[in-house]
Structures are given as C-alpha cells and as structure tokens.
Structure 1
Amino acid sequence: MSPGNRPRIFREEALRHHEGARQEGDLLRISPRWTGWTYWVLLALLLFTLSYSALGTLPEYASGPAVVEVEGRSNLSVDTPGLVASVKVKAGQRVEAGQALVTFLAQGETASLDRIQREFELQLLRVLREPTDESARQTLTSLRAERELAQARQQDRTLRAPHAGVVGSLRVRPGQYISPGASVVTLIGDDVHVTLLALLPGGYRPMLEPGRSLRVEFNGFPHEYHELRIESVGDQIIGPNEARRFLGADVADALTLSGPLVMVRARIGSPTFLSKRRAFNFFDGMQARADARVRSERILVTLVPGLKGALGYEDR
C-alpha cells in the first residue's frame, strides 16, 4: 500500500483545523491588585486574632436553678376538716381584710345553730311571761352562750382574709375534701419583700461573696436578663436532699438538684418586673436560672494551658 493510499487516523476536519490554527496561546495574566489587598487583609486578621487571644478574656460562671420567695405572705389553712362549698376569689385578685375567700359545707353547724336559736326564743318568751323565774333566766343565759358558740363555729366554715392583699395561689376547688391544717390560700400582703434564692454549685463557694453581680433569667421569659446583687451566701455546702427539705415539697418537686450546693440570696427591689413593656407580678415559687460570674481567664491561656505558669497569667 502506497503512502498516498495509507488510511489516516485523524479526520479531515481535525487536520484542517490544526493546519489553520497558527496563532500561539497567550500567557495567563494575574492582576496584582486583588492579591495585594488580600494579603494585607489576611495579615490584619492574623494580628487581630493574636492580639485578642493575648488580651481578651473568657468569663466563668457559677450557674444553677433559682426560685422566687415572696416575704410577707400568709398561708391560710383550716383547723377542721370539710368539703369546699365555693371559692369566692381567684389568683391575682386583690381582697380586703375580712373578705370571704373560701366557704365550706356547714350543714351540721347550721342545724345546731337553728336548734339553739329556737330554744333561745322559747326560753326568752318564758322569761318575759314570768320575769321572777330565776331558773328560766339561768337557762336563757346558758342558751345565749351556746348560740354565740354555734355562730362562731358556723363562721369558721368561711375562710376570710386576715388582712388586705393579693391572692397568690389557690389550692382548693369546689367539692374537694380538706384535711385539718392543709394550706388553702396564699395571701400576699401590701408590705412584701421579694427575694431570689439561687442554688449554685458548692465548689464555687470560696469565690462567691455579697456584692457580686447575679444575672437572672426567669422561666417563661427567655433572653430577658435581670442584674441583681448578691445579698448573702450560705456558710455551709449542702446536698440535694437537705436543699429540698429547706425549700419544701411544693417547690423542691419542680427543681432538678444534684451535687453539692450553696444557697445564695439576692434582693429583688420591686414586686413587679417588665417584659416587652408589660408589668408582671412576682409569685412565690417562680423559677429562674441564675449565673454568678466568679472569674475570668485569658483566651490564650485557655487555648494553651501551659502558658499559665510560663507567662505568669492569673485568673481574675
């Protein structure tokens, strides 16, 4: 087979294109402007990071649950058992001294009072008819004392406010049976003091002292922080069971406690607080999250702990 008749491995179109493309490719050109400012930006970021790591600090907080305590409140209870007939008020309502709060079924007391009243009226007629009857007068005096006692017993079946204030909580409902001594109503008086009791990790006790700032976030109001001042710090580190006994069953059941704890108190200056331009009352047992700043450490030392001793850094 002659060279002229030898089959070609490339297509005619590809050969013609190759023969016609005589212009060489141009060099890749990079603009020096963006590479220049990128270099200086990266250098500035590096210097800022090193400076911030050397000078900046990271705070450390002692954090734990907290509850609101309203001082000046009255826990009203009953001395005799009975069924709740009606509840005259509701939580948050203001009441005056002597106002009826809860009534109880008093069928026995009412029947006894009606019987004594009838006997008293009959004996009174006898005395009016025979003024000289000394026995009738003595019986009338005895019935008068019994009537007063029956009236007092009937009045005891209505729980009344001992002073003016605001109803904090109601723990009864109509038809409920109440045992003697059971708490029925919490009444918050006009002269009240609101405090916050925080339960912080016991390991931070040496660094906690009165006057330090306490940041508080109340449950139900996220990302709304209140700055308080620590008023007192407990001298003892206690366990979760002892803390529950101190708080009482009503409050402790709603908290998750673990590890050694120290009690920290802070005074809340007002019985109300603002949230989104609305005023809300503090209620006994409200829960919150408390954070007390105990110290801070250089960021560089946190990243490289070995520098603490070499460079002489100290916690603040």
Structure 2
Amino acid sequence: MEAVRSKIFREEALRHHEGSQQEGDVLRISPAWTRWTYWTVLGLLLVALAYSLLGTLPEYASGPALVKVDGQSQLTVDAPGVVSSVEVRPGQQVEQGQALVRLRSEEETVSLERIQREFELQLIRILRDPSDESARQALTSLRAERELAEARQQARTLRAPQAGVVSDLRIRRGQYVTPGESVVSILGKDVTVSLVALLPGGYRPTLEPGRPLRVELDGFTHEYHTFTIESVGDQIVGPAEIRRFLGPEISDALQLNGPLVVVRARVPSSTFTSNGKTFNYFDGMLARADARVREERILVALIPGLKGALGHEDR
C-alpha cells in the first residue's frame, strides 16, 4: 500500500501531510474599524455629490491669435529694381526723411540728364531771342518732364516717413524687389499694441466686448496674460478670407480650420514681463487665446439629461 501511495503522491507532499498540522484562527474584524471606514466612505460620497451639484465647469472658445503693433510704417517699392545700397540696420534710430534704401536708377538718371540738356538748350534760345515762342513752349514742356523725371529718380530712394526705429529689414544689397514688396518697417514713437484672436465661429453669440481674454504667447509656455475684448466681428468667415485679412506676411504661419470670427483685444502696454525680465511686443508674434463663454454644473456635464430637470442655465 505504501508503495502505491508513493507512486501516486510526491514524497515531499506525503511528508508534509504526515507531519504536525496547525489549524488557522478565525478572521476577526474590529467593529470600530468598520464603522470608521463606513462613515468615511459615506462622507466622501456626500462631498462628491455636493461638489457635483454646486461646482461648475467652464467652457472656452479657443483659437490662434497674433500681436498687431499699430504706429508702425511699412515701406514698399512702387517699381521693380535691384537694391544698390542699404543705408540703415535693424534697431537704428532714424529721422523723418532719412534715406533708408536705394535702388539702382541708371535709367532714371540718364533720362533726367537728357531732359536737363534739352532744357538748357531751349533756355539759351530764349536768351538769344526772347520773342521765340516755340522755344518758350518747348521750355514749358521740358520743365514738366524734368519735374516728373526728378520724382521718378527720387522714388528710387526709400526714406523714413516718420522718426522712429528700424524694426524690420527684409532686403540686402543686390536683391531684386518687385512692386508692392515690403522692404523695411519703421516703428514710431506713438505705438499701440492690440491682439487679434481667431475663435470658432460657433461661439459668436456668446462673445461680447468687455469680457476677459486669456492669452499664452508662443515661446512663453504656461505664462498667461489677461486682456479685455474690445470688439467682436459681426461676420463669420472662412480661412481664405482670414488669410486675405491678415496678409501674406503672417497668414502662412497660422493653421486655420473651419468658420472663424475675428476678436480684437486691447493690450495696455507695449511690453510684458517674464521671469523678472521685460520684453517688447513685436508685430506678428503668435499666441493662443481662450475666451470663457459659459459654465455648467459638473453633474449636468456628467449627465446631460439633467439639464432641464435642474433648471440649468448657461452663464
């Protein structure tokens, strides 16, 4: 019999079975501990229920935004040409009328010199014969041509329209420029800063002037500035119209989707502070804008069907 058992069971199991065994005790639970746990869990449930009934969740209209600096003059060229010299550098202080950029003007110079020679010849004819009417008529015509040629030659030099600081310089010597191309910007003394936010068009009925707008500038993560909404567009437009409104200089840097509404906010200062340092706002700086549009109770957010039963109203 022992041989049969040894074949069925392992020797270790048999030795353990034949050895002395001690039975375990009954599990005992303290009544004080169970009561304390029960009331704690019940209290937490009541607190969570009260918080869900009284607490609210804010809803935000969020979208890209950019900084606009007013009081800045953008200089463009009226005719194509090649840059012969750049007379300034970024950050340089300039006076009104100071030359900034010169374009090659060989054709204008040759034309002006030709007209000037003809003008002097006709003037000599009049001095020799004051009664020469044809010379007088030619002199009058040449005087108008000379003024036009001088204006064309002067137009080949871009001058500062106001005193200020060179804030942007986009050209170099020898570069070819086309009509309408922006080449230099002058930041005047009277500068105002605003923010243009592009928010989802579906939130237009809930957006109003006077409400706060929270802004996070690109490059300054988790640093928020709160501005006041100054105006809200009356039209909801698509991305193509927004790009036309912003212009080619900055529109390509934004990712626009769906219908949008333009919201403007007033920036009270031309500078901002980050980590104890002061920085200037620059035209075209990108940001993220959030406008609070409504709030709803947490319980309603969890169970939308309770909205009517609780008499919930958006705020």
Range of TM-score over shorter length: 0.7 to 0.9
User: In structure 1, what is the Cα distance between the partners aligned to 2:298 and 2:267?
Assistant: 34
Identical amino acids, percent of aligned pairs = 66
Q: Residues 78 and 43 (structure 1 numbering): CA distance in 2 closer, same or farther, change over 3 Å?
A: same
AA in 2 matched with 1:310: A
* Structure 1 residues 116 and 247: alpha-carbon distance in aligned structure 2, compared to 1, 3 A threshold: closer
Which residue identity is paired with 1:187? I
Shift in CA distance, 43/159, structure 1 to aligned 2, threshold 3 Å: same
Q: Residue 213 of structure 1 corresponds to which residue in structure 2?
A: 212
| Structure 1: stretches of 5+ with no match in the other structure | 128-132
Distance 1:306 1:115 in 2: 87
> What displacement does 1:294 show?
0.8
- 270-279 or 83-92, which deviates more: 83-92
Which residue pairs with 1:9 in the alignment?
5
Assess, with a 3 A threshold, how the Cα gap between structure 1 residues 165 and 40 changes in structure 2: closer, same or farther. farther
For residues 14-73 of structure 1, the C-alpha deviation after alignment (integer angstroms, 9 at most, x for no partner) is: 888767737554333445565454434323322221111111111111112222222222
Asked whether the 8 Å contact 1:168–1:284 carries over to 2, the reply is no
Cα 1:262–1:148, aligned 2, differ >3 Å: closer, same or farther?
Answer: closer
In the superposition, the TM-score normalised over structure 2's length comes to: 0.78
Residue pair 1:211, 1:231 contacting (<8 A) in 2 also: yes
Q: Which residue of 1 aligns with 2:54?
A: 55
Partner of 1:98: 97
How big is the shift at 1:266?
A: 0.9
Quick one: structure 1 residues 12 and 241, their matched pair in 2 at CA, closer, same or farther if it must change by over 3 Å? closer
**How far has the Cα of 1:248 moved from its partner?**
2.0
**RMSD value, Cα:** 3.8
1:300 deviates by 0.3
Out of 264-273 and 278-287, give the one that drifted further.
278-287
1:303, CA displacement in angstroms? 0.9
- Confirm or deny: 8 A CA contact 1:84 1:105 kept in the other structure: yes
How far apart in 2 are the matches of 1:90 and 1:33? Answer: 81
Secondary structure of 1:98's counterpart equals coil
- 1:204 match: 203
Corresponding residue for 1:130? none
User: Secondary structure of the residue that 2:309 maps to in structure 1?
Assistant: helix
Q: Is 2:306 the counterpart of 1:307?
A: yes
My pick for the range that moved more, 86-95 or 213-222, is: 86-95
How many residues align? The count is 299
Specify the alignment match of 2:221 in structure 1: 222
Q: What amino acid is aligned across from residue 101 of structure 2 in structure 1?
A: V
**What's the CA shift for 1:312?**
1.4
- Flag the 1:49–1:114 CA change in 2: closer, same or farther, 3 A: same
SS at match of 1:310: coil
Gap change, CA 1:20 and 1:259, over 3 Å in 2? closer
Are residues 21 and 308 of structure 1, via their aligned partners in 2, closer, same or farther at CA, if it must alter by over 3 Å?
A: same
1: CA distance, partners of 2:258 / 2:235 = 14
| Partner secondary structure for residue 242 of structure 1 | helix
Q: Deviations over 1:109-149 (max 9, x none)?
A: 667889999x8xxx9xxx9xxxxx9449xx9xx8xx89998
- Could you say if the C-alpha distance between residues 90 and 48 of structure 1 is closer, same or farther in structure 2, counting changes exceeding 3 Å? farther
